[in-house]
């Protein structure tokens, strides 16, 4: 933990909850000493994230902080582009779909057609986190992302890229889809594909199904092509 960084974000978060705030108010709400608050405010002003309104009103955030949310706004646009395609797929094939993006050592579910699927196993999965190394979504992401990103993600997870892992990613790229790789196979399985813009992975989509309904080979043969066509259609709409 880098303490000055932590304290800077405490000040930013405190200012974000009000139109403006004085040094006295900020010191009281953050629990930081006044001299510390003054130093942090000066730094944030130099960086362009804070401005002084007046001696009486104190300080407020500038619109530069909106730039910090560009990634979130992309996720919203991504979901808006993907949702109609995913709903049509579920209406046609029945199985629930899950849209995921990478987020702090896991894949976070951003949208799902589970509530609309007659073969769903849950009503909602929004914001659920899926493991990168063993989940279908994460394995599809790692297989199709750039070598540089793959190395960074594996390093962040504390995992080494050994021969078996490299072979698994090569197989996923060859097949065009990934399956979950769990220690103990359960009743459910997932098949996932990557949504790509050139070498960049924008997100991944998985379809969950019961093992009693079909084998992995059947799922790949029957749903691999339409899932990849779905991913390409979403990528096209995202780029518009």
CA distance 119 to 126: 18
Q: Can you tell me the distance from the alpha carbon of 231 to that of 11, in angstroms, rounded to the nearest whole number?
A: 41
Distance of CA 104 to the CA centre of its chain: 8
Mean predicted confidence (pLDDT) in 4-22: 92
- List Cα–Cα distances, 23 to 11, 13, 27, 136, in angstroms: 10, 14, 6, 49
pLDDT exceeds 80 at position 1:
no
Q: How confident is the model at residue 71 (pLDDT cuts 50, 70, 90)?
A: low
Query: What backbone phi and psi angles, to 5 degrees, belong to 195?
Result: -100, 115
pLDDT greater than 80 at residue 69 = no
CATH 1.10.10.10 location in the chain: 3-61
Q: Does domain 3-61 correspond to CATH entry 3.10.20.90?
A: no
pLDDT at 72 over 70: no
- In whole angstroms, give the CA distance from residue 59 to residue 61: 7
Contact 7, 32 (CB under 8 A): yes
Instruction: Look at residue 66 in the predicted model and tell me its pLDDT.
Output: 77
Cα separation, 96 vs 117, whole angstroms? 5
The rounded mean pLDDT for the chain is 91
Segment 193-212, tens digit of pLDDT: 999 998 899 999 999 999 99
pLDDT digits (tens, 9 = 90+) for 75-87: 788 999 999 999 9
Distance CA 239, CA 195 (A): 12
Structure pTM? Answer: 0.73
Please give the DSSP secondary-structure letter assigned to residue 21: B
Q: How many CA atoms lie within 13 A of 166 on its CB side?
A: 6
| Structure tokens belonging to residue 114 | 């589970």
Distance in angstroms (rounded) separating the CA atoms of residues 66 and 161: 37
- Whole-angstrom distance between the N-terminal and C-terminal Cα of the chain? 40
pLDDT tens column, 23-36: 999 999 999 999 99
Per-residue pLDDT reduced to its tens digit, 84-142: 999 999 999 999 999 999 987 899 999 999 999 998 877 667 778 899 999 999 999 99
Pick the CATH number of 69-239 from 3.30.230.10, 3.90.1150.10, 3.40.50.1860, 3.30.450.40: 3.30.450.40
Number of H helices, E strands in the chain: 8, 8
In tens, the pLDDT along 204-233 reads: 999 999 999 999 999 999 999 999 999 999
């Amino acid at each position: 933990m880098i303490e000055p960084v932590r304290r800077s974000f405490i000040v930013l978060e405190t200012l974000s909850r009000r139109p403006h705030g004085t040094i006295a108010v900020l010191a009281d709400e953050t629990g930081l000493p006044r001299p510390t608050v003054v130093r942090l405010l000066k730094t944030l002003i130099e960086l362009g994230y804070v401005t002084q309104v007046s001696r009486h009103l104190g300080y407020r955030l500038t619109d530069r902080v909106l730039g910090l949310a560009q990634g979130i706004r992309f996720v919203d646009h991504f979901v808006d582009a993907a949702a109609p395609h995913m709903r049509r797929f579920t209406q046609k094939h029945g199985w629930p779909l899950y849209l995921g993006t990478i987020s702090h050592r896991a894949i976070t579910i951003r949208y799902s057609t589970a509530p609309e699927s007659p073969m769903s196993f849950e009503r909602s999965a929004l914001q659920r986190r899926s493991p990168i190394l063993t989940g279908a979504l994460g394995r599809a992401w790692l297989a199709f992302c750039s070598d540089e990103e793959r190395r960074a993600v594996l390093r962040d997870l504390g995992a080494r890229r050994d021969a078996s892992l490299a072979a698994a990613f090569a197989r996923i790229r060859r097949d065009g889809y990934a399956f979950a790789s769990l220690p103990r196979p359960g009743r459910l399985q997932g098949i996932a594909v990557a949504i790509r813009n050139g070498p960049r992975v924008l997100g991944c989509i998985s379809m969950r199904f019961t093992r009693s309904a079909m084998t992995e080979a059947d799922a790949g043969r029957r749903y691999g092509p339409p899932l990849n066509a779905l991913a390409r259609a979403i990528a096209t709409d995202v780029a518009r």
